[in-house]
Amino acid sequence: MAPPVVLRLENVTKRFGLFTALHDINLDIYDGEFLTIVGPSGSGKTTMIRLLVGMDEPSEGLIYLDGKVINRVPANKRPTCMVFQSLALFPHRTVGQNIEFPLKIRGVDERRRRARANELLDLLHLPRDYYGKGVMQCSGGERQRVALARALAFDPEILFFDEPLSALDYRLRKALEKELKQLHRQTGKTFVYITHSLEEAMVMSDRIAIMRTGSIAQVGTRRNLCQPEKPLRRRIHGRGQPVRCRGPGRRAVSGARRGYVGQRRPSRYRRRRARHLDGAAGIRPFPDSRGCRRLRSQRPDG
Amino acid sequence: MDRIEERQGLLSALPLSVLMVLIFVAPLIVVAVFSIMPPRVFDVLHMPSFENYRIFFTQGYYRSLGWALGMAAMATVTLFVICYPLAYAMAKIFKKFTLIITIAVVVTLFVSENIRLFGWVLTLMKGGLISGYLRTYAGIDIDGWLYNVPVIVFGLVYVYFPFMLFPLVQGISMVPEEVRQAASDLGASRTRIFFEIDLPLAMPGIVVGSLLTFVLAAGAMAESKLLGGQAVIVMADEIEAAFTFGQNWSLGSALAMILILIIGSLAFFALSRVDLDGIMGRRG
Ligand SMILES: Nc1ncnc2c1ncn2[C@@H]1O[C@H](COP(=O)(O)OP(=O)(O)OP(=O)(O)O)[C@@H](O)[C@H]1O
Ligand SMILES: [Mg+2]
């Protein structure tokens, strides 16, 4: 039995002037799932979740939360929270004040706020003495973690992440991906996660929605998403290998270690052909594995 | 290498520095020296005395200072309340309309302040524009609104409007829209956003605007002369009178020094607390 739908988009269209950023979107988001939205730059991912958290109103269509239409409910009245692509931290505040902000709004007393902030600092591997540090003095990656902590402090029913890990180094990113996944399991909340990286999507999510130029090209679980349209996948993935997936079995995993995600490593012929096709399409190949072993192991994504 | 560049920098700054000293610092020093001369002397070859500063307290000049600062403060507060919503709209809501408002406000500056104030005198005086119409069409006889303190404050508000408006627009447009949205997303109401986000982030603009209006209004005298008549006498008026009718340069200097010190320390205090680089757009 499928879990209940928490958020439903019904024929949602969003226009900015004459430009249609989202075209007739239909999407159900289930309670407690981890949904990842993947798509090339400018495909309308941010626009869509801005509608869902209440920062914009759709031009057409309806958004349901728990069966009620919430088109006109403002952001501060929705049980949703978003981690911005730009992070949108409060630059005049310290790390601690940023994290405590939603608690302060709710009128939580100072001691409990402080305790919670410390918990979150620990959770996100920020040193506790960052509590009094100005956010503008933090590095990009530290800021991203502060933004995550702030959203977690708000403790919403549905959490939206707009590429929250893009400025982190590979290792920390993997660690935080794991943390997020774990957090999702622990809290049982609904997570909606935007990323460019199909690899990240494959690793983390229950379901994946692929967007393309304002509409949803495909939605599905990791498994039944195994035949995405090639040109799209190539755009996201940066390489042109055809995907052939039989679930994350042993061979797929060993493929993933070589940079092929959720798939076995293609044959030598196919790899050469893909490179040839990529070259024809103007896609620069990533340095080949030969002589680049170390580089590849540190490569952020596929 | 650094040192050579530094020296070249100092060298090229030298002419301008000399000019600044001559134009700004030297007159201030002259005024300061004059202020500690005995009253009614026209050279500085006397024993210093603080008689003038005593006169400030004994002959009621402090009242003029009080009026000047009080009315400037009232004008500043009024202007802030009026300008904030307009500045907010100009920075965040109006698009092309902002330019029209900007031009309209700037165009008023093309006409001299005194002429614009005379316009208000003609409008507000007894038998002037408003009272004339009221008498003719409504049969009400009124005395006009001139020659009191509120009308002077009105004049200050009118004249210094642009000096508050534009810094505020600049300050408010420095508040990133996404930061406000994030606050709203985290549950903050509009009032909370105003106090927690808008006000602190727009502070450089607010401080600069308030300081400009306050300093200019505290040194203004056209409003109190034209619109206020002799209702109250402000400090700038007293200084002018001391230098001209009174022929008492040293008293005038002392009064000027007091005004300069008060306003200067206020400006220093206020500006030291805001990030001017921010409002100049020099921050990354
Ligand atoms: N306020 C706006 N006014 C006009 N056009 C907009 C606005 N916001 C977004 N768009 C347009 O809508 C399209 C989708 O933008 P969106 O930010 O949703 O892309 P995205 O999928 O999040 O891309 P990225 O991965 O680069 O963040 C873009 O072409 C963008 O130019
Ligand atoms: Mg985006």
Interface confidence, given as ipTM, is 0.75
**pLDDT for res B125:** 85
On whether the CB atoms of residues B165 and B135 are closer than 8 A, the answer is no
Same domain, yes or no: A150 and A164? no
Q: Which residues of chain A have pLDDT under 50?
A: 228-231, 234, 238-259, 282, 284-302
Query: Based on the domain organization, do A235 and A246 belong to the same domain?
Result: yes
My answer on whether A130 and A187 are in the same domain is no
Together in a domain, A9 and A131:
no
Q: Do A50 and A183 lie in a common domain?
A: yes
Domain that holds residue A46: 1-79+157-265
Task: Give the nearest partner residue to A75 out of B176, B179, B184, using CB atoms.
Answer: B184
Is residue B41's pLDDT more than 90? Answer: no
Torsion, CA A254, CA A258, CA A259, CA A263, rounded to 10: -30
Residue A296 lies in a domain: no
Mean per-residue pLDDT, B4-16? 88
The domain limits of chain B are 60-279
Q: Please indicate whether, in this complex, the C-beta atoms of B182 and A88 are within 8 angstroms of each other.
A: yes
**pLDDT on residue A301:** 46
Nearest CA in chain B to A52: B185
A275: tokens are 């490179």
- For residue A275, being part of any structural domain is answered with no
Same domain, residue pair A4 and A128 = no
Chain A residues close to B178, C-beta within 8 Å: 84, 86, 88
What's the CATH number where A171 sits?
3.40.50.300
Nearest to A81 among B179, B185, B189 (CB): B185
Confidence at residue A125, expressed as pLDDT on a 0 to 100 scale: 86
The answer to whether residues A112 and A250 belong to one domain is no
Is pLDDT at B129 greater than 90 in this prediction?
no
Does pLDDT of B31 surpass 50?
yes
> Could you read off the pLDDT of B183-225 as tens digits, one per residue?
999 999 999 999 999 999 998 899 999 999 999 999 988 888 8
In sequence order, what are the beta bridge partners of A161? A83, A193
A171 shares a domain with A67: yes
In whole angstroms, give the CA distance from residue B73 to residue B55: 25
Number of independent structural domains in chain A: 2
Structure tokens at A101: 């902000």
**Residues near A128 by Cβ (< 8 Å), separated by ≥ 6?**
A118, A121, A122
User: Using one digit for the tens of pLDDT, what is the confidence trace for B84-115?
Assistant: 999 999 998 887 889 999 999 999 999 998 89
Q: Indicate whether A59 and A143 sit together in one domain.
A: no
The answer, yes or no, to whether residue B53 has pLDDT greater than 70, is yes
Q: Which of A105, A135, A143 to mutate to test the interface with B (most CBs of B within 10 A)?
A: A105
Residues A175 and A60 in one domain: yes
Q: Are residues A56 and A170 in the same domain?
A: yes
CA of A23 to the centre of ligand 2 (A): 16
CATH number of B60-279: 1.10.3720.10
With bands split at pLDDT 50, 70 and 90, how would you rate the model's confidence at B59? confident
- Note whether residue A283 is domain-resident: no
- Buried residues in A262-290 as b, exposed as e (16+ CB within 10 A): bbbbbeeeebeebbebbeeeebeebeeee
In a domain, residue A161? The reply is yes
The pLDDT assigned to B132 comes to 85
pTM of the model: 0.77
Query: How far apart are the CA of A187 and the nearest CA of chain B, in angstroms?
Result: 18
Q: Do B183 and A82 touch (CB under 8 A)?
A: no
Is residue A132 a part of any domain in this protein? yes
Residue A240 lies in a domain: yes
* A75 CB within 8 Å of a chain B CB: yes
- Minimal CA separation from B156 to chain A, in Å: 33
Find residue B167's DSSP bridge partners.
none
Would residue A233 count as lying in a domain?
Answer: yes
B132 sits in which H/E element? helix B129-133
Query: Is residue A141 assigned to a domain?
Result: yes
